[in-house]
């Protein structure tokens, strides 16, 4: 039996759901099921998703409703808008470590696409995570190395996960990643034997830079050598109102776009799409419903 169980963990719905479950999130779960063939796949949620793609995937996975983290829920962010944008992600930072510590297994963000099965060697280590580009410490302004928490493997009761989770509350300052990715890097420097660090190519072959996001979302550069999965860094471009990292947005990433447009991401995602035409009627009904709701809101 492996040190790390083949139990995959995902988190979604930590804020109220106002839009149907997206095709990209469906593809994350579907690619995990097909590529990794997990013994268990659990999705933790607070507000359950809805919509055609959710109906297509929900019966294939295990669903567990979870409470939100008290410290994050009570945090007064310096900027209310930043708090609105980051709070859901900070809830997930705590929950993912709690579940890995309790059950062991593999955690991945919902904007992940799985490419190749995780090697058996990963499941014999106490903890595994991957390196990302250096980031700015928002308190000091200095550049710091960082270990990304968007994909992690851990044995049950992992010492690294325990120390990390114990120190997270004190490091939680409302910034994007001081308590998560940057803290992980500092802890690994102190306890190198407790975690194995993979090079960025393993889980993050395209980084969160403007150039890499363009190569992933708009261009066709499908070189996946050494990559087991790809992370989309969706929080940087998902909203059409945010264009500092990419002019692309989640609204453009439709099933039709994935089927008909060749980009690095779409070519990798296409094999995991549902059969063509299966959702056409359901999607038409949803479009009519939301058009009607929008019309009523404008009239009101």
Residue segments in the chain with a per-residue pLDDT below the cut of 50: 294-295, 297-299
For residue 72, give its domain range: 7-299
**pLDDT at position 144, please?**
87
Looking only at the bridges linking them, the beta strands covering 7-11 and 40-45 are parallel
The reply to whether 207 falls in a domain is: yes
Gap between the terminal Cα atoms of the chain: 61
Write the CB contacts of 186 (distance below 8 Å, at least 6 apart in sequence): none
User: Is the distance from CB of 198 to CB of 153 less than 8 angstroms?
Assistant: no
Give the helix, strand, coil percentages of the chain, each rounded to 5.
45, 15, 35
The predicted-structure confidence for 20-61, as pLDDT tens digits, reads as follows 999 999 999 999 999 999 999 999 999 999 999 999 999 999
* Ordered strands of the 40-45 beta sheet: 62-65, 40-45, 7-11, 105-108, 143-154, 127-136, 196-198
Q: Does 1 map to a domain?
A: no
Whether 113 is in a domain gets the answer yes
Per-residue model confidence (pLDDT) at position 125: 98
3 state SS of 242: coil
The answer to whether position 266 is within a domain reads yes
Model confidence pLDDT, tens digit, residues 245-292: 999 999 999 999 999 999 999 999 999 999 987 565 555 555 555 555
In a domain, 2, yes or no: no
Distance (Å, rounded) from C-alpha 249 to C-alpha 221? 19
Specify the number of domains making up the chain.
1
Does 288 fall in a domain?
A: yes
pTM (global) more than 0.75: yes
Residue 13's domain is classified under what CATH number? 3.90.550
Identify whether 31 is part of a domain: yes
């Amino acid at each position: 039996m492996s040190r790390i169980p083949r139990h995959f963990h995902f988190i979604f719905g930590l804020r109220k759901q106002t839009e149907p479950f997206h095709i990209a999130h469906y593809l994350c779960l579907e690619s995990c099921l097909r590529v990794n063939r997990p013994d268990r796949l659990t999705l933790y949620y607070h507000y359950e998703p809805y919509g055609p793609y959710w109906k297509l995937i929900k019966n294939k996975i295990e669903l567990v409703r979870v409470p939100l983290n008290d410290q994050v829920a009570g945090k007064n962010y310096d900027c209310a808008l930043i708090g609105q944008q980051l709070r859901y992600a900070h809830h997930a930072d705590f929950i993912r470590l709690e579940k890995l510590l309790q059950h062991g297994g593999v955690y991945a963000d919902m904007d992940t696409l799985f490419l190749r099965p995780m090697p058996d060697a990963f499941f014999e280590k106490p903890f595994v995570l991957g390196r990302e580009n250096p980031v700015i410490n928002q308190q000091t302004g200095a550049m710091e190395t960082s270990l990304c928490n968007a994909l992690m493997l851990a044995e049950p009761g992992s010492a690294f996960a325990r120390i990390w989770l114990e120190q997270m509350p004190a490091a939680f300052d409302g910034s994007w990643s001081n308590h998560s990715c940057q803290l992980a890097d500092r802890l690994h420097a102190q306890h190198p034997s407790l975690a194995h660090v993979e090079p960025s190519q393993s889980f993050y072959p395209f980084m969160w830079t403007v150039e890499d996001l363009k190569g992933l979302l708009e261009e066709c550069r499908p070189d996946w050598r050494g990559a087991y999965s790809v992370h989309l860094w969706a929080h940087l471009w998902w909203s059409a109102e945010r264009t500092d990292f990419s002019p692309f947005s989640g609204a453009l990433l439709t099933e039709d776009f994935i089927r008909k447009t060749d980009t690095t991401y779409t070519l990798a995602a296409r094999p995991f799409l549902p059969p063509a035409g299966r959702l056409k009627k359901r999607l038409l009904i949803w479009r009519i419903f939301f058009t009607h709701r929008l019309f009523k809101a404008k009239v009101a």
